[in-house]
Each structure stands twice: as structure tokens, then as C-alpha cells.
Amino acid sequence: MTSASQNSSRSGPRTSSGGFSLAKLLLEGRAFLALMVIILVFSMLSPYYFSLGNFLTMASHVAIFGILAVGMLLVILNGGIDLSVGSTLGLSGVVAGFLMQGVQLQTLGVVLFPPVWVVVVLICVLGALVGLVNGVLIAWLKVPAFVATLGMLYVVRGAALLMTNGLTYNDLGGKPELGNTGFDWLGFNRLFGIPIGVLVMVVIAIIGSIILNRTAFGRWLYASGGNERAAELSGVPVKKVQVSVYMLSGICASVAGLILSSELTSAGPTAGNSYELTAIAAVVIGGAALTGGRGNIRGTLVGAFVIGFLSDGLVIIGVSAYWQTVFTGAVIVLAVLLNAIQYRRRVKLPGSNGGPSTSPQQAGKARTADPAHEKIAG
């Protein structure tokens, strides 16, 4: 967790225990290590892999998942899960496509062509609304996050299919005379040679990092994910925090949807199918705990790069798509396995002051007590 490591680095002398620290470093930096290994291996297997051009191309693939994963991280830190982001991504693209084709106002008999920035804002509002529904269902109506967002996965996907009747919007370029050009810019243009999508991901990651580490909201998010009851009794507005994370996740999904449809120059209602799972995988590979309270942006981004660089690498060396799926799955399981080792270890090892740590049983009790209580209260 970021705030922890930052605090500890400033808390004066801390004993580091020689031989152990290398293993610890490898364990904690494992996602980064995995990324290095992936780059190394594929560079040896293919002459095309290790080049700036290829890295930028792969990075723009990663951007979609990276943006989704940042939103997902906020939800997971809060102890929740958001399965609806893939559908939200799809709906966002479709609605953007719809807006770019012009909105017919029958009563006035005019067709409105909103400029691209208006489209972007509206789509972000749309994502926030989907998140709001998720958040209200979960925080106020006590629907388990898994079920609420699973429901929204279907509802939102259905809405996207209904809007287009299953068809795809192909012409997203806009027309100069209508003043709505520029949608392509998101997916095709580059700034200083870097694809816009990648820059957007970086900006979102920086904003996310500031929210998590430098705002009261971020601390509340970690606290209510770590122990909701304790956070509530400390005056943390846990419900507002919960609703907010789903809204932020929804906005991230919308942004990803805009970039994806711009890249593809088309908006299909089935875009982003199962992307939520990739986003969750990136968060998990990045070292976040699905039980909430632990994880950070840096790890999550590295997680997204691991998945992206691995699958693109497999494509480049010509491994079948079926095998890619198998590899990705194996990496996810391995990551969770290592997470389990890391957190078990953290509990068992005494702190640097030599004081004994909480017994795993107690910690476990504290954690499992939460949902049980919620059920009673709800």
C-alpha cells in the first residue's frame, strides 16, 4: 500500500534484515520483474518485439485496460468489485457514435451535432450514472457488489444492443461543416510521438495516485476497504465513499470506451466484452488484495502492462490465440498465489520494533466478521 510505504520511509531508522530483503524485494516487485522477463524473452524470440514503435503500439493496447484497471483498483481497494465496466465501455462507444451521427429533436425538427468535447463530457456523465446506480444498489440497498454489478453488466450491454439494434456505428469522423470533427484524435493522434490513449492513461493514473495518497477521500477509501466498521466509527462517510468509487470506475470505463471506439473508428455494442475480467486481472497481478485495503496505482499499471505485453508478444511470435488465453490465465493464478504468500508473510513476521504481530486468526476473524455483520444489519 502506497501510504504505508511512504510513511515508513519517513519514519526514521528501520532495521532491514540483510539476506531476507532481496527475497522481499523480489516478492514485492514481482509484477515489475515479470514484466522485465516478458520483455526479455520476447525480445529474444522475435526481432520485431524490442522496438520503440512496437512498444508504443503495445502501450496503446494496454491503455484501454490500464484505464479500466485504475477505476477497478479504486473499487477493489474499497472491498468491492465492478463487473459492469466492460459493458459500460461498450455503451459509451455506442452512445458516442449515436451522438456523432447527430441527435434528431423531433419536436423542434432539427438535428443537433454536438461538438466532440460535449460528446466526451456527456459520455463521462453516462459512465458516472452507471456507477451511481451500482453504488446506490451496493451502499444503500445492500445488494452484494458482485450481484449488483453483474446485473448492470447485462442491463448496460442490453441497452447498447437495443440502441443500435445490434449494429455498429462506423462513421465517427464527423464533418467539418457540422463542426464535430476531432473524434479520431483520441485514438489516432500522437503527442510527442506518444499515442493520446497512452497519455490519457498516464494522466488518469496520476490523478488516481493523487486521490489515493494525498486526499482525505483516498485515506477514507483505504480505511473503509480495510475495515468498514472501524472506518464508520471513526466518522468516515463510508457510503459516500462507496458510491464515489463506483462512479469513478464508471467514468474510467467511459473514457476507455471513447478511446477504443476512436481507435477502431467504429462503435459496436459488443465492444469491451469481458474486459472487466482483464481489468480485475491487472489489479490482482499488481498486488492488490481482493479483500480490500491493499494495493496501489503503480502496481496496477504494471499489472496491465504484464497482461498487454504478454498477449501482444504471443501474437508477434505467432502463438495461437487459444494458447494466449491459457497463458494469461496461468499468470493471473500465479499472481494471486504470490499475493497470498505475501500477505500471509506480512502477518506472520514481527514488525521492525520486535513487537509481536497480530495472530493470523485474529486478523482473519476481524475480516470475516464484516460481511457477517452487514448481513445482520441489512
Partner 1 sequence: MNAAPQFEPAAGDTVLAARNIVKSYGGTHALKGVNFDIRRGEVTTLFGENGAGKSTLMKILSGVETPTSGSIELDGRPVVFSSTVDARDRGISIIHQELSLAPNLSVRDNIFMGRELRGATGLDFAEEARQTRMLMVDLEEDIDPMTLVQDLRLGQQQIVEIARALSVDSRILIMDEPTSALSATEVEVLFKVIRDLTARGVSIVYISHHLEEALQITDHAVVLRDGTITATGKAKNIDLEWIVRNMVGENFDLGSPPTGYAFGDVALSIDDVSIADVSGSDRLVVDRLSLDVRAGEIVCIYGLMGAGRTELLECVAGRLPVTGGRVLLEGDDISRLSIAERINRGLVLVPEDRQRDGLVQTMTVGANLSLASIGAFVKGMLLSRSQERSLIDGTIRDVRVKTAGAGAPIGSLSGGNQQKVVIGKMLTTDPKVMLLDEPSRGIDVGAKAEVFRLLGERAAQGLAVVFSTSEVAECLGIAHRIIVMRRGRISAQFGADVTKEQIMAASGEAVLV
Q: Is residue 296 within 8 Å of 212, Cβ to Cβ?
A: yes
Q: Work out whether 51 is an interface residue with partner 1 (CB under 8 A).
A: no
Distance in Å, CB of 365 to partner 1, minimum: 7
Pick from 24, 56, 144, 219 the residue near partner 1 by CB under 8 A: 219
Contact partners, residue 172, CB within 8 Å, separation at least 6: 96, 97, 100, 183, 184, 261, 262, 265, 266, 267
Q: Work out whether 378 is an interface residue with partner 1 (CB under 8 A).
A: no
Pick from 194, 229, 315, 316 the residue near partner 1 by CB under 8 A: 229
Backbone angles phi, psi at 196, to 5 degrees: -55, -40
Distance in Å, CB of 359 to partner 1, minimum: 5
Pick from 195, 225, 286, 299 the residue near partner 1 by CB under 8 A: 225
Q: Work out whether 294 is an interface residue with partner 1 (CB under 8 A).
A: yes
Distance in Å, CB of 20 to partner 1, minimum: 16
Stretch that binds partner 1, among 33-41, 165-173, 212-220, 262-270 (CB under 8 A): 212-220
Q: Is residue 275 within 8 Å of 67, Cβ to Cβ?
A: no
Q: Detail the DSSP E strand segments found in 109-246.
A: 110-112, 190-191, 194-195
Cell numbers that stand for 330 in this block: 496461468
Distance separating alpha carbons of residues 268 and 161, to the nearest angstrom: 9
Cell numbers that stand for 150 in this block: 453483474
Distance in Å, CB of 375 to partner 1, minimum: 12
Pick from 27, 41, 161, 347 the residue near partner 1 by CB under 8 A: 347
Q: Work out whether 65 is an interface residue with partner 1 (CB under 8 A).
A: no
Pick from 206, 210, 333, 337 the residue near partner 1 by CB under 8 A: 210
Stretch that binds partner 1, among 44-52, 117-125, 291-299, 309-317 (CB under 8 A): 291-299
Stretch that binds partner 1, among 34-42, 61-69, 177-185, 229-237 (CB under 8 A): 229-237
Q: Is residue 29 within 8 Å of 286, Cβ to Cβ?
A: no
Distance in Å, CB of 368 to partner 1, minimum: 10
Distance in Å, CB of 371 to partner 1, minimum: 12
| 3-state secondary structure at position 94 | helix
Distance in Å, CB of 261 to partner 1, minimum: 32
Q: Work out whether 24 is an interface residue with partner 1 (CB under 8 A).
A: no
Distance in Å, CB of 76 to partner 1, minimum: 13
Distance separating alpha carbons of residues 89 and 101, to the nearest angstrom: 19
Q: How crowded is residue 342: how many other Cβ atoms within 10 Å of its Cβ?
A: 17
Distance separating alpha carbons of residues 271 and 88, to the nearest angstrom: 9
Q: Work out whether 76 is an interface residue with partner 1 (CB under 8 A).
A: no
Q: Work out whether 346 is an interface residue with partner 1 (CB under 8 A).
A: yes
Residue with cell 486481472: 281
Element (H or E) spanning 98, and its range? helix 85-100
Stretch that binds partner 1, among 8-16, 100-108, 151-159, 172-180 (CB under 8 A): 8-16
Contact partners, residue 317, CB within 8 Å, separation at least 6: 42, 45, 46, 49
Q: Work out whether 214 is an interface residue with partner 1 (CB under 8 A).
A: yes
Q: Work out whether 3 is an interface residue with partner 1 (CB under 8 A).
A: yes
Distance in Å, CB of 367 to partner 1, minimum: 8
Angle (nearest 5°) at CA 165 between 159 and 171: 100
Q: How crowded is residue 21: how many other Cβ atoms within 10 Å of its Cβ?
A: 10
Pick from 19, 47, 235, 318 the residue near partner 1 by CB under 8 A: 235
Length of the chain: 378
Distance in Å, CB of 352 to partner 1, minimum: 5
Angle, helices 321-348 vs 18-28, to 10°: value is 140
Binding residues for partner 1 (CB under 8 A): 1, 3-4, 7-12, 14, 210, 214-216, 219-220, 222-223, 225-227, 229-237, 289, 292-294, 346-347, 350-353, 355-359, 361-363, 365-367, 369-370, 376
